[in-house]
C-alpha cells in the first residue's frame, strides 16, 4: 500500500512540547488533506530509562524500525546526568544515525522577511537567503577509528580521533546534493580544507569526478571551510546547495542559523540510502537541541519541528503542494506577527508553544 | 642589548604591498619614537624560487632564524602552480609555524564603530565587540599522524587524518589564554566538541585542571564549537578571550572576522614558547591571504598588516603606549573616512593601499 508509517518520538527537554505541535499539524494533513500516514508515538530518554533501563526501549525501537519516517524531538540536557553514560550511548542520536545509515543531513536556511528585525544580520545581507546545507552524517571524525585517550610513557595523556572518508561515502552524499540542486537553482558548493587535509583532497577529487561523470549540468564550486564560514555571514544569498563533511556541516549550519533569526526556526531531514523504488528512510527533527533551561515552560518555538513536517511532506510523502501549503501557513502566521519568545522584539507579545501551533493551524 | 631584530617578509600576492605600508609605519616608530628595532627585509615565494629553487631561500631563513619577530605578508595563490608542491611544502607557512613552535595564534576581533555600516552584522550586534581568539597553531588535525590516502582491497580509496592533542599542548596554549585574560576582562571561553570527540574531552579536562590549579581568579566557561559559531554571529560582545584547537580556531576566526567589517582589517600574532626571560619568538601577519585577484593593483587594505605592527609593539617590544598610539591613529583615519575598497560604502571614495598607509601616518 501507499501508507507511510511515521514514528513520533518527542524525547527530552523541549522535544515533547514542540513535537506535540508538529504532531497536531501532521494529523491535520492526514484528516483534512488525506495524507496517507499512520502515526505511532513512542518514548525516548529518562522516562523509559527509569522503567526499562533503556533510553531507547524495545517498543520505541520497533516503532522506529518499521517507520518510513521518524518525527524526532530532542535529546540531552541535565536529564542525561541521571542516566549512566553507557546506557545513554547505547541509544544515542549518533547511534541511531549510524544504525539507519542516515548519511545525508539536509538543513535548509531560509531568511524569513518577517523576522529580519530579530536576526543579527542586516536586512541587506538577508535578502534572498534560501540555501540548504547537506551535512554528511554517518562518517568523518565523529565516527572514525582509532579514537580515545591514552597515557604516554612520560605520564602525559594524549587524545586522538580519526577523520576519515571513503570514495563511496563522499560520492553518495555528493549525489544527494547534485540531485537536489537540479530541483533548485542548479548550483552546488562543496566545502573542505583541501589545502591542508588529505581527507579533504579525497573529498574534492570524488565530488569533482562524480560531477564530471553524471552532473555536468549542475554548477560546481569549492570553498575552504574557513572562507565558507565567512561567506555565510558576509553574503549568504550566494549559495544554493552546500555539501560538506560531518564536522564542518555541524559548525557551518549553526553559523548559518543566524541568517534565519533563530535556531528555533530551522528544520532538518536526515536521509538513508534509497531502496530500489528510490524511497529513503528518514528522520525529521528541528536543528535546535533539548534546551533544558526552558523545558516544560511551554515557551519553546515549535516552528523548527513544524517545518520539519513540511520537509517530510515533500520528501517522504512526495506531496510538494502540501509542503508548500504548510510553509506558507508558517509565513502567514509570522507575517501576522505571531512570535515565540526567541524571535520576539523587546516588548512585543510572546506566544506560547501551543499558541504558535494554533496560529499555524489557523493559517492552514 | 635591548635591540629587537625584525625580519620583514612580504611574500606573495598582496603580501608585499600591504607589508610595505606596515614596514613604513614600523620605521616611523623606530625613527620618531625610538623603538629599538633592526629591520631586515627578505624574500619569500615564486621570485626566490626562480633564482634559488627554494621558496624560502637560505638568507630568508637566516633572517627569520635570528629574528625576535617576523613581520609576514602572505603566501599562496596562482603563483603556487608555478612551484612544484614539494618545494612549496618545504617552505610553507605551516612548516614555519611548526619549525618555530608558534603554538599560540592570537586573533583579535574588534568592531570599529566607523565601519558599522560596511559590516554584515547589525550595529546593535556589533556594540562593544572586543575579543580575542587564541587558536592552537602547531598541533591538532593539521599536523596529526597518521594521515594520507590509501587504496582499499575493493578498489575504493580512503582518506584519513588524525586529530590529536597531548596534555602539555593543551595546557601551554590555555596558559597563554588565562594570562591574557588577566590583562583584559578576566574571562576565558574554551571551545571544543567534548560531547563527541575524545580529543575535546582531553582538551576540556586539561583546561579545567590548569584553571583550578593556577587561574581560579579568571572566569572559565566552555562552549561546543557549533554553539560557539552561532554565538559569535548572534552576540559577539559576550566574549573576552576564546581559546580553541587549530581547526576550530581557523573556522571560528574567519566567522568572527565579519564582526569587524572586513577580513582586511584583522591582525594576528603567533607566539612560540617563552624563554627564561619570558620572551617569545613571534610572527605577525594579517589574517587575510594573498588575494591573487587583486595582487599588484595597489588597492588592498593594509590595516590588517598595520595593526599586526601594533601587536608587535605591544607583545614583542613591550611598548603598550606605542601600540595604543598606532591603534588610535587607525581609528582616527577610519573616523575621518579613510576607506580602501573592501570597507568602502558604494559610491564612496576609495583609497589605494599606499594612501591608506599615508592616512595612518598622518594621524600619528
Ligand atoms: C548533539 C550533537 C552530537 C549533534 C551533532 O553534533 O551532530 C548536534 O550538535 C547536531 O548538530 O545535531
Ligand atoms: C593557508 C592555511 C593553511 C591557513 C590555515 O588554515 O592555517 C590559513 O587559512 C590561516 O588561517 O592562516
Q: For residue range B221-275, what is the model confidence (pLDDT) as tens digits?
A: 999 999 999 999 999 999 999 999 999 999 999 999 988 888 899 999 999 999 9
Say if A105 falls within a structural domain. no
Domain finish residue from B260, B291, B324: B260
Cα–Cα distance, B96 to B114 (Å, whole number): 36
Summarised one tens digit per residue, pLDDT across range B288-317 is 999 999 999 999 999 999 999 999 999 999
Q: Please judge whether A233 and B255 are an interchain contact, meaning their C-beta atoms are less than 8 angstroms apart.
A: yes
Regarding whether A231 and A273 lie in a shared domain, the answer is no
> Measured between beta carbons, which residues in chain A are less than 8 angstroms from residue B232?
255
Q: Could you tell me if residue B115 is inside a domain? A: no
- Using CB atoms and an 8 Å cut-off, which of residues 128-147 of chain B contact chain A? 141-142, 144, 147
B256 and B129 within one domain = yes
Contact across the interface for A198 and B229, Cβ inside 8 Å: no
- Give A122's contacts in chain B (Cβ within 8 Å): 120-122
Q: Could you give the 3-state DSSP secondary structure of residue A364? A: coil
Q: Has residue A112 been placed in a domain?
A: no
CA A96 – ligand 1 centroid, Å = 12
Could you list the residue range(s) of the whole structural domain that residue A348 is in? 1-100+267-364
Q: Tell me whether residue A85 is in a domain.
A: yes
Q: Which residues of chain A have pLDDT under 50?
A: none
Helix (H) or strand (E) holding A131: strand A130-136
pLDDT digits (tens, 9 = 90+) for B47-59: 899 899 999 999 9
CB contact under 8 A, B233 and A230: no
A156 in reach of chain B (CB within 8 A)? yes
For ligand 2, whether the C-beta of B322 sits within 6 Å is no
- Rounded CA-CA distance B34/B99 in Å is 31
How do residues B105-146 score in pLDDT, each as one tens digit? 999 999 998 998 889 999 999 999 999 999 999 999 999 999
Residue A195 is given by DSSP the state T
Count CA within 13 A, CB hemisphere, residue A267: 24
pLDDT of residue A80: 58
Same domain? For B124 and B221 the reply is yes
Tell me whether residue B228 is in a domain.
yes
Last residue of a domain, one of A201, A225, A260: A260
pLDDT at A90: 75
User: What is the number of the ligand 2 atom nearest to the C-alpha of A224?
Assistant: 9
> Do B153 and B48 share a structural domain?
no
Residue of A nearest to B253 (CA): A226
Are the Cβ atoms of A232 and B253 closer than 8 angstroms?
Answer: no
Ligand-binding annotation for B247, yes or no, is no
> What local confidence, expressed as pLDDT, does residue B90 receive?
75
Q: Are residues B137 and B253 in the same domain?
A: yes
Task: Mark whether B142 and B19 lie in a shared domain.
Answer: no
Q: What is the pLDDT of residue B260?
A: 87
pLDDT (0 to 100) of residue A81: 67
Q: Is residue A218 helix, strand or coil?
A: coil
Q: Are residues A82 and A170 in the same domain?
A: no
CB contact under 8 A, B165 and A156: no
Same domain assignment for residues A177 and A70: no
| Ligand 2 contact via A336 beta carbon (within 6 Å) | no
Same-domain status, A35 and A88: yes
Structural domain ending residue among the three candidates B228, B260, B292: B260
For chain A, report the end-to-end CA distance as a whole number of angstroms. 28
C-alpha cell at B146: 597518521
Q: Is A193 designated active site?
A: yes
| pLDDT at residue B261, as a whole number | 83
Instruction: Tell whether A252 and A309 lie within a shared domain.
Output: no
- What span, in angstroms and rounded, lies between the C-alpha atoms of A134 and B95? 33
The answer to whether A185 is a known catalytic residue is no
pLDDT given at position A85: 79
Asked whether residue B113 is domain-assigned, the answer is no
Q: Quote the mean pLDDT of chain B.
A: 95
Name which residue leads in pLDDT, B359 or A259.
B359
- Cβ of A199 under 8 Å from any chain B Cβ? yes
**Helices (DSSP H) in chain A: which residue ranges?**
15-33, 46-52, 58-66, 85-90, 93-99, 123-126, 167-182, 198-214, 225-234, 246-257, 303-315, 320-335, 353-363
A226 catalytic residue (yes or no) = yes
Asked if residue A110 is part of any domain, the answer here is: no
Q: How many residues does chain A have?
A: 364
pTM flag (> 0.85): yes
CATH code, domain with A41: 3.40.718.10
Q: Are residues B187 and B211 in the same domain?
A: yes
User: Does ligand 1 come within 6 angstroms of the Cβ of B196?
Assistant: yes
- Say yes or no: B134 and B252 in one domain: yes
| B332-342 residue pLDDT tens | 999 999 999 99
Is B114 a member of any domain? no
| B15, B93, B308, best to mutate for ligand 2 pocket (most atoms within 8 Å of CB) | B93
Domains in chain B, number: 2
* Set A130, A254, A331, A358: catalytic member: A254
Mutant choice from A74, A129, A159 vs B, greatest count of B C-beta within 10 A:
A159
Could you tell me if A255 lies within 8 Å of chain B, comparing CB atoms?
Answer: yes
Count, residues in chain B: 364
Q: Which residue has the cell 568592531?
A: B111
Question: What are the tens digits of pLDDT across the range A37-72?
Answer: 999 999 999 889 989 999 999 999 999 999 999 999
Amino acid at each position: 500500500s501507499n501508507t507511510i508509517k511515521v514514528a513520533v518520538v518527542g524525547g527530552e527537554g523541549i522535544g515533547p512540547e514542540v513535537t506535540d505541535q508538529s504532531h497536531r499539524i501532521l494529523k491535520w494533513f492526514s484528516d483534512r488533506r488525506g495524507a496517507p500516514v499512520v502515526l505511532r508515538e513512542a518514548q525516548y530518554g529518562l522516562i523509559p530509562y527509569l522503567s526499562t533501563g533503556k533510553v531507547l526501549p524495545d517498543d520505541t525501537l520497533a516503532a522506529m524500525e518499521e517507520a518510513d519516517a521518524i518525527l524526532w524531538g530532542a535529546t540531552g540536557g541535565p536529564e542525561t546526568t541521571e542516566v549512566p553514560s553507557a546506557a545513554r550511548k547505547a541509544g544515542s542520536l549518533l547511534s541511531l544515525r549510524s544504525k539507519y545509515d542516515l548519511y545525508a543531513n539536509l538543513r535548509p536556511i531560509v531568511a524569513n522577511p518577517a523576522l529580519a528585525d530579530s536576526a543579527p544580520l542586516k536586512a541587506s545581507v538577508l535578502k534572498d537567503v534560501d540555501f540548504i546545507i547537506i551535512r554528511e552524517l554517518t562518517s568523518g571524525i565523529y565516527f572514525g577509528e582509532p579514537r580515545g585517550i591514552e597515557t604516554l610513557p612520560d605520564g602525559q595523556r594524549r587524545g586522538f580521533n580519526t577523520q576519515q572518508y571513503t570514495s563511496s561515502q563522499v560520492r553518495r552524499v555528493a549525489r544527494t546534493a547534485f540531485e537536489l540542486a537540479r530541483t533548485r537553482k542548479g548550483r552546488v558548493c562543496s566545502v573542505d580544507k583541501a589545502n591542508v587535509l588529505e581527507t579533504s583532497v579525497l573529498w574534492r577529487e570524488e565530488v569533482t569526478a562524480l560531477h564530471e561523470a553524471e552532473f555536468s549540468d549542475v554548477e560546481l564550486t569549492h570553498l575552504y571551510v574557513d572562507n565558507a564560514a565567512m561567506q555565510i555571514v558576509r553574503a549568504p544569498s550566494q549559495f544554493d546547495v552546500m555539501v560538506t563533511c560531518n564536522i564542518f556541516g555541524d559548525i557551518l549550519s549553526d553559523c548559518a542559523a543566524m541568517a534565519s533569526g533563530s535556531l528555533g526556526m530551522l528544520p532538518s531531514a536526515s536521509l538513508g540510502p534509497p531502496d530500489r523504488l528510490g524511497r529513503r528512510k528518514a528522520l525529521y527533527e528541528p536543528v535546535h537541541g533539548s534546551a533544558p533551561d526552558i523545558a516544560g515552560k511551554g515557551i519553546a518555538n515549535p516552528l523548527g519541528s513544524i517545518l520539519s513536517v513540511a520537509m517530510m511532506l515533500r520528501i517522504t510523502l512526495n506531496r510538494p503542494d502540501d509542503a508548500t501549503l504548510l510553509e506558507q501557513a508558517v509565513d502567514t502566521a509570522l507575517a501576522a506577527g505571531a512570535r515565540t519568545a526567541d524571535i520576539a522584539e523587546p516588548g512585543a507579545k510572546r506566544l506560547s508553544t501551543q499558541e504558535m501551533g494554533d496560529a499555524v493551524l489557523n493559517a492552514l
